[in-house]
């Protein structure tokens, strides 16, 4: 139990120093910085890649830089954490994955991610989701992690199901974006398989 409490105290003092870089079989999840703005803009300005993200498509680099500034501020304040998805031998941003909406009282957070269309279909996203989820359970002291998915984004739902998430809810027309009401799926993974003493 004491080990878990120690880990929870670490979680309470985010941001972590040094930044927790994560490695998977084929990926490196590294710290994001303002230098990544051009690559992030390429993602956020693409209607194709933003198809299932209920956020405005960026039309100016300044919008991406403003978003990055807010992300970095949130990390400094210990509210969230965001990784760049890249290859171990190439620092170029291929996508992002993060944990936010951190409910410390209930040990719950939300996971979200985006990947460049050129990199899809290669099994990268399950690796990144598993790494970020494991970090949330073992290092942040989370008990549950949720993901909110557009029901039409079947590829994202498959990734989460493959990583052990289960569907908890299907909300009808609960999101109003671009003049339309959209449905939302909520998928969740609970840390029941992680022993308290190992966190």
Compute the C-alpha angle 42/47/53, nearest 5°.
95
Residue 1, pLDDT above cutoff 70: no
Q: Please give the Cα distance from 19 to 177 (Å, whole number).
A: 34
Phi, psi (deg, nearest 5) at residue 91: -75, -5
Q: Helix, strand, or coil here: 137?
A: helix
In this prediction, residue 194 carries a pLDDT of 53
Q: Residues 76-104: what's their mean pLDDT? A: 94
- pLDDT score for 196: 43
pLDDT of residue 182: 97
Q: What is the pLDDT at residue 193?
A: 56
Strands (E), the chain: 22-23, 28-31, 81-87, 90-103, 108-115, 144-149, 166-177, 180-190
How does residue 17 score in pLDDT terms, banded at 50, 70 and 90? Answer: confident
15 — pLDDT class (breaks 50, 70, 90): low
Where are the alpha helices (H) located in 45-191, listed in sequence order? 61-76, 124-138, 154-162
**Distance (Å, rounded) from C-alpha 61 to C-alpha 66?**
9
> In this predicted structure, what is the pLDDT of residue 4?
36
Mean pLDDT, residues 82-92 taken together: 95
How many Cβ atoms from other residues are within 10 Å of residue 77's Cβ? Answer: 10
- Residues of the chain with pLDDT > 90, as a percent, come to 83
Task: Reply yes or no on whether the pLDDT at 188 is more than 50.
Answer: yes
Q: Does residue 184 have a pLDDT over 70? A: yes
Q: Which residue has the higher pLDDT, 12 or 153?
A: 153
Question: How confident is the prediction for the chain on average, in pLDDT?
Answer: 90
pLDDT confidence of residue 45: 98
CA dihedral for 131, 135, 18, 148, sign (positive or negative)? positive
Predicted TM-score (pTM) of the model is 0.88
CATH architecture of 2-198: 3-Layer(aba) Sandwich (3.40)
pLDDT in tens, 31-78: 999 999 999 999 999 999 999 999 999 999 999 999 999 999 988 888
The CA distances from residue 175 to 104, 109, 136, 194, in Å, are 25, 19, 26, 33
pLDDT, average across residues 181-186: 98
Distances, alpha carbon 86 to alpha carbons 69, 81, 94, in Å: 20, 16, 5
Evaluate if residue 6 carries a pLDDT over 60: no
Q: Please, what is the Cα angle at 184 between 151 and 49, to 5 degrees?
A: 60
């Amino acid at each position: 139990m004491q080990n878990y409490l120690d880990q929870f105290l670490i979680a309470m003092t985010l941001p972590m120093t040094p930044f927790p870089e994560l490695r998977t079989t084929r990926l490196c999840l590294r710290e994001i910085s303002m230098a990544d703005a051009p690559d992030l803009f390429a993602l956020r300005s693409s209607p194709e890649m933003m198809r299932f993200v209920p956020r405005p498509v960026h039309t100016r680099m300044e919008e991406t830089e403003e978003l990055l500034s807010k992300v970095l501020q949130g990390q400094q304040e210990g509210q969230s954490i965001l990784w760049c998805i890249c290859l171990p031998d190439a620092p170029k941003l291929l996508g992002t994955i993060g944990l936010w909406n951190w409910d410390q009282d209930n040990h719950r957070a939300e996971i979200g991610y985006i990947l460049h269309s050129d990199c899809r279909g290669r099994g990268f996203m399950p690796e990144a989701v598993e790494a970020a989820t494991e970090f949330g359970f073992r290092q942040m002291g989370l008990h549950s992690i949720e993901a909110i998915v557009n029901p039409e984004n079947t590829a994202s739902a498959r990734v989460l199901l493959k990583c052990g998430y289960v569907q908890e809810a299907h909300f009808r027309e609960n999101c109003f974006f671009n003049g339309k009401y959209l449905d939302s799926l909520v998928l969740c993974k609970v840390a029941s398989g992680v022993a308290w003493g190992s966190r």
